[in-house]
């Protein structure tokens, strides 16, 4: 996911928290269990849900308000062949424009062994928790010579292009020298433009020119089985965990935009010379400067299969900003480091004990790291069928979470400022009135949806949403109830024109939970409104008492050209 802009919005919030979290301690908590071999977790930016890929059920599950939903987001069982330990539903990525186009991409293995790797695009349905299973459109496919080393990860870069990492085709020792062969996608990182289908080749791909003997999709050479790679949301650098053969596991880093690299396999395993057997065209010799060395590697005394991770750019634990977490699937070890921007790293830390959840729980068989819609970090524990778990790294100090969605209120506001339109540092959602946006264009038109949530004590009360053009302070007092709006002609107009444009659904009755909805609507091609700033608040009226008995906070709207 490409999130630089949203973390820029959160920078001020994070800055205010650093003092409180200086030297912060952190831990893991289990957020759900009962998963079938989870191996990917993530969410669109600002989304409070979590999406989890299950390898062997070929389901994508949703964790919503802490509850694992019974209905999958999408079930691909009929298409996916999960035979063999490394096959199944392996990758998932939201379109960079998911909020508007609703597209997402999956990668899975299909057909009889050894099978074919398929990348397919789908679209969400009118129900945001369920995909349109009939919308699938194949992007590309890659026949596999063996059943292992399928790679399978899908990640959108900060450039908006889709990056696909393929393993070398499997078996062992890369018998066909695919990692160094320009005529196959196997053993490579690909980069393609999927803004429309069929996909196209980005013109800046390193081998996009005709006649160079290298497939145009190829972005980088020399990978054995890139098991999880990710971009640093702040810098655009690409971190790759590449699983080794007999001796070495490695972490490779590609600086932002630096395509055309060769990470060495199979000529090299980590920094060691390996083999050129099966290479019909002699590749550069071991140790050649053509090869990009890993920034970190470890031998099989410390594990046997690296799980590439994530650079933390969340809000809740500022002391970890810029820290890369990764793990080993076999030893269950978790490490972190900070890349130094050159060939090395600092702050190497064994995090295994620190992140042990305790309470009789443990983290094992780590298949993936991921981040939620606010940049907070999760780990997938594969487990056996139906016993997979999801853990989250959290600060030991419990942050304010007034809406109980497991996300810090301050971080939610940092990512989505429209959640605090009265600028008091608290979620509007917990004060009675919230909005889905803070501005509307007069030329394009639009709707600011105002959600009213005054609590069960106000159930059945008459509500009225009012609007002021002169601000919220000092406000009014009506029947002894403070209302955060200044009295002006617009307030009187919103009163007399309730349920008429632009105040649609501004007058009604709150439901059994004290909820209601107002749609403040600016028609397209409006004129004379640009530059106006208004404030809304909702009052509750008890018909039996004949009096106002409650009022919400205020939220604002800026009308832009």
How far is the C-alpha of 187 from the C-alpha of 264, rounded, in Å? 10
How far is the C-alpha of 251 from the C-alpha of 19, rounded, in Å? 32
CA angle 304–307–309, rounded 5-degree value: 150
Write down the CATH superfamily of domain 416-560.
Immunoglobulins (2.60.40.10)
Encode pLDDT of 271-328 as tens digits: 999 999 999 999 999 999 999 999 999 999 999 999 999 999 999 998 999 999 999 9
How far is the C-alpha of 249 from the C-alpha of 95, rounded, in Å? 31
Tell me what pLDDT residue 408 has: 86
Residue from 116, 126, 123 nearest 150 by CA = 116
Tell me what pLDDT residue 486 has: 97
Reduced DSSP (H G I as helix, E B as strand, rest coil) percent helix, strand, coil of the chain, to 5: 10, 40, 50
Tell me what pLDDT residue 19 has: 35
Lowest mean pLDDT among 190-194, 412-416, 442-446: 412-416
Q: How many other β-carbons are positioned within 10 Å of the β-carbon of residue 399?
A: 17
Q: Where in the chain is the domain with CATH 2.60.40.10?
A: 416-560
Torsions phi, psi for 404 (to 5 deg): 65, 30
Tell me what pLDDT residue 421 has: 87
**Cis-peptide into 198, omega within 30 deg:** yes
Tell me what pLDDT residue 2 has: 37
Which residue's structure tokens are 């996916």? 80
How far is the C-alpha of 258 from the C-alpha of 251, rounded, in Å? 16
Cα–Cα separations (whole angstroms), residue 334 to 348, 364, 441: 11, 10, 48
Tell me what pLDDT residue 355 has: 96
Read off the pLDDT of each residue in 37-52 and give the average, rounded to a whole number.
96
Residue from 23, 97, 35 nearest 72 by CA = 35
Would the pTM of this model clear 0.95, i.e. be above it? no
pLDDT greater than 80 at residue 441: yes
pLDDT greater than 50 at residue 16: no
pLDDT greater than 90 at residue 424: no
pLDDT greater than 70 at residue 371: yes
145 and 134 in contact (C-beta within 8 Å)? no
Encode pLDDT of 149-172 as tens digits: 999 999 999 999 999 999 999 999
pLDDT greater than 90 at residue 524: yes
Of residues 88 and 15, more confidence is placed in 88
Q: Where in the chain is the domain with CATH 2.120.10.30?
A: 4-409
How far is the C-alpha of 454 from the C-alpha of 462, rounded, in Å? 12
Tell me what pLDDT residue 7 has: 37
For the structural domain made of 4-409, what CATH number should be given? 2.120.10.30
How far is the C-alpha of 350 from the C-alpha of 254, rounded, in Å? 23
Encode pLDDT of 327-359 as tens digits: 999 999 999 999 999 888 999 999 999 999 999
| Average pLDDT over all residues of the chain | 93
Tell me what pLDDT residue 22 has: 39
Tell me what pLDDT residue 23 has: 42
Q: How confident is the model at residue 12 (pLDDT cuts 50, 70, 90)?
A: very low
Q: How confident is the model at residue 17 (pLDDT cuts 50, 70, 90)?
A: very low
Read off the pLDDT of each residue in 514-520 and give the average, rounded to a whole number.
96
pLDDT greater than 80 at residue 21: no
pLDDT greater than 50 at residue 482: yes
Q: How confident is the model at residue 109 (pLDDT cuts 50, 70, 90)?
A: very high
């Amino acid at each position: 996911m490409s999130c630089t802009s949203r973390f820029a919005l959160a920078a001020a919030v994070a800055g205010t928290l650093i003092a409180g979290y200086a030297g912060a301690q952190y831990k893991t908590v289990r957020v759900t269990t009962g998963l079938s071999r989870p191996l990917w977790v993530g969410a669109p930016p600002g989304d409070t849900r979590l999406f989890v890929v299950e390898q062997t059920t070929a389901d994508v599950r949703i964790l919503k308000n802490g509850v694992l939903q019974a209905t999958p987001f999408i079930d691909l069982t009929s298409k996916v062949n999960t035979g063999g330990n490394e096959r199944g539903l392996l990758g998932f990525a939201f379109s960079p424009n998911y909020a508007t186009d609703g597209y997402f991409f999956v990668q899975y293995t299909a057909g009889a062994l050894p099978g074919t790797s398929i990348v397919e695009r789908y679209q969400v349905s009118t129900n945001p928790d369920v995909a349109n299973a009939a919308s699938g459109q194949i992007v590309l496919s890659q026949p596999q010579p063996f059943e292992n080393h399928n790679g399978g990860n899908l990640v959108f870069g900060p450039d908006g292009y889709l990056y696909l990492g393929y393993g070398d085709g499997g078996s062992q020792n890369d018998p066909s020298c695919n990692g160094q062969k320009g005529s196959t996608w196997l053993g490579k990182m690909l980069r393609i433009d999927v803004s429309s289908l069929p996909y196209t080749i980005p013109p800046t791909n390193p081998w996009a020119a005709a006649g160079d003997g290298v497939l145009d999709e190829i972005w980088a050479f020399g990978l054995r089985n890139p098991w999880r790679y990710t971009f640093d949301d702040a810098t655009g650098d690409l971190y790759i965990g590449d699983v080794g053969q007999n001796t070495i596991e490695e972490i490779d880093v590609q600086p932002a935009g630096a395509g055309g690299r060769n990470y060495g396999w199979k000529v090299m395993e980590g920094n060691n010379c390996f083999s050129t057997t099966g290479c019909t065209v002699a590749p550069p010799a071991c140790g050649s400067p053509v090869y990009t060395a890993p920034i970190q590697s470890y031998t099989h005394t410390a594990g046997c299969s690296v799980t590439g991770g994530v650079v933390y750019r969340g809000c809740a634990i500022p002391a970890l900003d810029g820290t890369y977490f990764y793990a080993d699937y076999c030893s269950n070890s978790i490490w972190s480091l900070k890349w130094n921007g050159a060939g090395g790293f600092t702050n190497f830390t064994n995090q295994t004990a620190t992140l042990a959840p305790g309470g009789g729980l443990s983290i094992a068989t780590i298949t993936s790291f991921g981040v939620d819609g606010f940049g907070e970090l999760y780990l997938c524990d594969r487990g056996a069928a139906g016993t997979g778990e999801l853990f989250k790294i959290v600060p030991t100090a419990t942050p304010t979470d007034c809406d109980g969605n497991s996300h810090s209120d301050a971080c939610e506001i940092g990512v989505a400022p429209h959640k605090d339109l009265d600028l008091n540092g608290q979620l509007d959602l917990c004060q009675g009135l919230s909005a889905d946006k803070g501005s509307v264009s007069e030329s394009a038109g639009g709707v600011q949806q105002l959600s009213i949530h005054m609590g069960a004590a106000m159930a059945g009360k008459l509500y009225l949403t009012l609007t002021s053009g002169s601000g919220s302070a000092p406000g009014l007092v009506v029947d002894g109830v403070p209302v955060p709006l200044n009295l002006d002609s617009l307030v009187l107009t919103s009163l007399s024109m309730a349920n008429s444009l632009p105040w649609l659904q501004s007058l009604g009755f709150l439901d059994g939970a004290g909820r209601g909805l107002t749609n403040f609507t600016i028609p397209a091609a409006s004129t004379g409104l640009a530059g106006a700033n208004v404030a809304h608040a909702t009052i509750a009226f008890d018909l039996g008492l004949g009096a106002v008995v409650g009022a919400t906070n205020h939220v604002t709207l800026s009308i832009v050209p």
